[in-house]
Structure 1
Amino acid sequence: MFLAAGLLLVAGCLVPNRWLPVRMPNDKLLHFGAFAVLGLLALRLAQGPAQALMGLAGLLVLGWAIECLQQLLPDRSFCWRDMAANAAGLAFAGLFALAYVSI
């Protein structure tokens, strides 16, 4: 499930804008939600706090890499606000896990 969600996220972020639907929800909310869900899925696989932290850090690096790769696509670019939304989604996943799940 985690791998499929990750591949879907990468594919969705690396297509040209013209391939996306005209009426999309707020882009930052999509980033937040996608990384929150991916973060929660990663935390389910983690075996201990160190692995959980490494998983969330790895997903943050993935978000950065996606933003860098978007510069190679027509009508896409790196956006720090997208990175902030990604980080906020991962922080939400981590805090949710701390509050409701024992890692």
Structure 2
Amino acid sequence: MNLRLTAFGGWKPLFWAALLGILALSLLPSATPLPTTGWDKTNHLLGFGVLAALARFAYPGPAWPRLLGLLAYGALIEILQSMTPDRSAEWADLFADSLGIAIGWCVAWVATIGLQRRA
């Protein structure tokens, strides 16, 4: 990974803040006004895209444990939502999470390659 990206020490705190923030927003009662894109699936895609990019920068190493961990996190959120009175679990949400993970990972990879070429 590019030295410029790994030299920034804030990736791990940003990752954990985003992880906890997404969990909190996902479990709030649906009557609570939340920041939104206007379409639920886009919220999932963007949220998990950010998580994937942050995971790539924060934790170097093999990709699969991080990617599968994020997908498991999305599944956990859906399970927890099914246990709340105001939320429901949807397979489409998990699919949007997985698309976001793939896109976020690729964007972070392209950013890394771009910085390596400039160095």
Cα distance, 1:77 vs structure 2? 1.1
Structure 2 equivalent of residue 69 of structure 1: 80
Q: Which moved more, 1:55-64 or 1:92-101?
A: 92-101
Structure-to-structure mapping, 1:1-103, within 5 angstroms? 1-21=14-34, 25-48=38-61, 50=62, 52-101=63-112
Q: Which runs of 5+ in 1 are unaligned?
A: none
Q: TM-score, normalised by structure 2?
A: 0.75
- Identical aligned residues as a percent: 36
Q: 2:49 touches 2:103 (CA, 8 Å); kept in 1?
A: yes
Q: Which runs of 5+ in 2 are unaligned?
A: 1-13, 114-119
- Higher Cα Rg: structure 1 or 2? 2
Distance change (3 Å), C-alpha of 1:80 and 1:19:
same
Q: TM-score, normalised by structure 1?
A: 0.86
How many matched pairs? 99
> What is the RMSD of the two structures over their aligned residues, measured on CA atoms?
1.7
C-alpha separation in 1, matches of 2:104 and 2:37: 24
